[in-house]
Amino acid sequence: MTELSVVEARTLLARAFVDDPLMVWFFPDEDARPHACAALFGLFAENYLAGGRVDVVRRPEPVAVAMWRWPREAERAPGPERLPSIGGLMTALMGSARAAAIGGDMAVLAELRPAEPHAYLHLLAVHPDARRQGLGGEVLDRGLAAARAAGLVACLDTMNPANVPFYEGHGMSVRHEVPLGAGGPTVWSMATG
C-alpha cells in the first residue's frame, strides 16, 4: 500500500468514473457530474484511507487505485455522525425523492454479497490516460492476494459491462446479474472461489 491523499483519490476516482453507467444514472447532468462524483468519492476515500485497504500506483501522480472493505471494518461500531453523510450528500445532489428512490434500488447490493466474511472491492479506478497498461490488474491483484492470504472470498459489484471480462480474467465470476430501478444500469455481482 502507498500513501494517497483524499484530494488525489477523489480526483482520480471522479475522472475514472465520470462516464460509468452508475454515475451517469446518478448524475445525468454532464457538466455537474465530475464535481458530484468527486464529492461522493471524496467521502468514500476519507473512509477507506482512514481504515480500509487502499492500493495505489503512482507515476508520480496516482494513476490507479483500489479500495477494499475487510470484515473487521464492516463489524466496527459506528462513531458519531460526521457531515456530510453519504445519504445527506446524495440528497443534496439529487433531491430528496430521487435520492430515496435510488437508495432503495441500491439496497439490493447488500443482499447479493456472500454471507461469510469477505473482502469487498468497493472501488477500482484507472486514470483515463493510463488505461490499457495493466495498472488496474496490478492494484486488483494486490487485494486479491491479500484476501487469499486471509482466507477470504473477494467480491465486488460492477455496473459497467466492459468490466466483467476484466474481472473474470482475474479469477472472479458473475454470481448475480440484477437490473437496478427505472432507467438504472444492470449490476454484475462477482466473487472469487
Report the CATH number at residue 96. Answer: 3.40.630.30
Residue 174 domain flag: yes
Residue 128 domain flag: yes
Residue tagged 482520480 (cell numbers)? 12
Residue 54 domain flag: yes
Average pLDDT over residues 114-133: 95
The answer for residues whose C-beta is within 8 angstroms of residue 17's C-beta and 6 or more apart is 23, 37, 41, 125
pTM flag (> 0.85) = yes
Q: What percent of the chain clears pLDDT 70, i.e. is strictly above it?
A: 95
pLDDT tens track for 46-73:
999 998 999 999 999 999 999 999 997 5
Is residue 157 within 8 A of residue 109, CB to CB? The reply is yes
pLDDT tens track for 9-36:
999 999 999 999 999 999 999 999 999 9
Residue 10 domain flag: yes
Residue 52 domain flag: yes
Residue 140 domain flag: yes
Residue 125 domain flag: yes
Number of domains into which the chain is organized: 1
Residue 1 domain flag: no
User: What domain range includes position 156?
Assistant: 6-191
- Among the listed residues 71, 74, 76, 77, the one whose alpha carbon sits nearest the alpha carbon of residue 151: 71
